[in-house]
Amino acid sequence: MYNILRALREAGAVRSFEANGSMWFETNTELHGNMVCRVCGRIFDVPPLGEEVQNALITSEHSIESVSIIMNGVCRECRSRMPPP
Ligand SMILES: [Zn+2]
């Protein structure tokens, strides 16, 4: 299974990132970040990066091959179960 995912990643059909000590694969290949909920451990997509950031990466003098943006926090569902601060 892992080799299939790796082949798909190399073909650009999936992207991968590391979070919670595991490698994750996703089919959303648009440049975006992922938020890991520290309470339930689920991983959520966060909106695509703004055009300005994307252009800065594209026009960088370096050849950027992948971008991982991992944010840690509490998801909306878990937040709603917490007492107000
Ligand atoms: Zn949660």
What's the gap in Å between 64 CA and the centre of ligand 1?
Answer: 31
Out of 3.10.450.230, 3.20.20.80, 3.30.70.420, 3.30.1490.190, the CATH code matching 2-80 is 3.30.1490.190
What's the gap in Å between 58 CA and the centre of ligand 1?
Answer: 33
The whole-angstrom distance between residue 71's C-alpha and the CA centroid of its chain comes to 8
The SS3 call for residue 79 is helix
Domain residue ranges of the chain, discontinuous segments joined by +: 2-80
What's the gap in Å between 84 CA and the centre of ligand 1?
Answer: 16
Answer whether 0.85 is exceeded by the pTM.
Answer: no
Q: How far apart are CA 45 and CA 37, in angstroms?
A: 11
Digits of tens for pLDDT over the chain (85 positions)?
Answer: 567 777 777 777 777 778 778 888 888 777 788 899 999 999 998 877 788 887 887 787 888 777 778 889 999 999 999 988 7
Phi, psi of 24 (to 5 degrees): -115, 145
Token pair listed for 6? 């790796």
68 and 32 Cβ atoms separated by less than 8 Å? no
Q: How far apart are CA 83 and CA 16, in angstroms?
A: 35
